[in-house]
């Protein structure tokens, strides 16, 4: 019997797609999954490591988008 190691154990990385397929006003990323057109197109060809890295980027995008922009200081 052989023991499996993390490198030879298959991991299923789920797609970030939530079925809201619409690009933002600046055409940077999808408003549903926060991926660029390129990332969406390449998803099925990515390695699990690349998919996990993209998930980390998506998490960062969500954090940035949820943070309100700093209001400009008034002279009053």
Q: What is the pLDDT of residues 30-74, one digit of tens each?
A: 999 999 999 999 999 999 999 999 999 999 988 988 887 665 665
User: How do the domains of the chain map onto residue ranges?
Assistant: 20-66
* Of 18, 49, 53, the residue nearest 33 (C-alpha): 18
Look up the pTM and report it: 0.70
At 67, list the tokens. Answer: 């943070």
According to the model, what pLDDT value does residue 5 have?
A: 47
According to the model, what pLDDT value does residue 72 have?
A: 61
Longest Cα separation, the chain: 76
Contacts of 15 (CB under 8 A, 6+ apart): 33, 43
């Amino acid at each position: 019997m052989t023991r499996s190691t993390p490198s030879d154990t298959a991991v299923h990385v789920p797609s970030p797609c939530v079925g809201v397929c619409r690009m933002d006003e600046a055409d940077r990323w999808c408003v549903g999954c926060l991926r660029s057109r390129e990332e969406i197109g390449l998803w099925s060809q990515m390695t699990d490591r690349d998919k996990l890295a993209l998930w980390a980027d998506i998490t960062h995008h969500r954090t940035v988008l949820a943070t309100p922009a700093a209001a400009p200081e008034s002279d009053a």
